[in-house]
Amino acid sequence: MKAWARGGGAPKDAPVVVEGLGLHTASKASVALARARGPVSVVVGGMGTAARDLTVVSTAWRTEVAPLGGEFVLMTVEHMFAALAGLGLHEGVRIDVEGIEIPILDGAALAWCDALTTLGVHPTSPPTRVVRRGTIDIGSSRYEFSPFDGVDVEVSLVLADQRLAPEARWEGASADFRERIAPARTFAFERDIPTILRLGLARHVPATGAVIIREDCVQAAGRPFSSDEPARHKLLDLLGDLYLAGGPPIGRIRAVRPGHTANALALRRARESGLLAHTRA
């Protein structure tokens, strides 16, 4: 990662530029983060839209989005959006992207937190709320919604591997997100790697930014592995996907066996059935 923070002779409102390679395409990308009025917006190739107006167009091992008009497609947005969600940044940021895939950086969301914090944008409350109790089942995944005067998101992975803690929870505090959730690295089970490679994915995997769970050991470079890190990363991914629906919403969400595909379908059904509602324009 290479980032340029304001300082020295840089203008007060100069952007923070983050550069790196995409996880799946290994293509170079540059992301300029800047202060701006209005809802958080994403601009690619001169075409822009509010982040909450983006539509999920693919969930194959990542979250891929596009505007309703299809002017551009942007891949692997979940970690960047998770940082925005965890820091409570729903307004005041413009994201200019050069490239087709958001850089993987540290394999988590901490690098995005560092860059976004430099902007000095004040957090705002989520524009979405859980308005009634309900449950949505997507295959083997389950999403439980209930009203609550705060943000409370929990995941349960239902794992057979006794080395891994299956649950993680976040109750809306940005400091807690930065300390516990944002550093949780992307992970893969060794048994899934042949499929990922056959699909032409994961072309750039930083050694210190990914955890490989093998039958005989857990491979993690750079810093120690914690048994709940996979659950915390699944929570991170869920927060990034919730951000696309104006969340994480005010309310409680418990997700059992979450994944990008199930997340997108569950959020669509939650909006269509009235479980989730926007509280402001």
The CATH number linked to 89 is 3.30.230.20
Judged against a pLDDT cut of 50, whether residue 244 lies above it is answered with: yes
Q: What is the pTM of this model?
A: 0.90
* Nearest of 54, 32, 193 to residue 64 by alpha carbon: 54
172 and 82 in one domain? no
Same-domain pairing of 109 and 188: no
Confidence at residue 204, expressed as pLDDT on a 0 to 100 scale: 67
Mean pLDDT on 141-170: 93
Same domain, 144 and 237: yes
**What pLDDT is stored for residue 10 in this prediction?**
54
Q: Is residue 75 part of a domain?
A: yes
Shared domain check, 228 and 91: no
Same domain, 211 and 249: yes
Q: Spell out the residues 6+ positions from residue 164 whose beta carbon is closer than 8 angstroms to its own.
A: 157, 213, 227, 228, 230, 231
Catalytic hit among 24, 233, 260, 278? 260
Residues 6+ apart with CB under 8 A from 118: 3, 5, 6, 16
CATH number of the domain bearing residue 197:
3.30.1700.10
Q: How far apart are CA 127 and CA 8, in angstroms?
A: 36
pLDDT at 46: 87
Domain residues for the domain of 145 are 128-278
Establish whether 233 is a catalytic residue.
Answer: no
The overall average pLDDT reported for the chain is 87
Shared domain check, 143 and 260 = yes
What pLDDT does 201 receive?
Answer: 63
pLDDT in tens, 189-216: 778 778 877 767 666 677 777 777 777 7
pLDDT band at residue 1 under the 50/70/90 scheme:
very low
Domain match, 185 and 58 both: no
Residue at which a domain ends, from 74, 96, 118: 118
Query: Are 46 and 14 within one domain?
Result: yes
Q: Are residues 79 and 156 in the same domain?
A: no
Decide if 1 contacts 108 (C-beta within 8 A): no
For the residues 132-146, what does the mean pLDDT come to?
Answer: 97
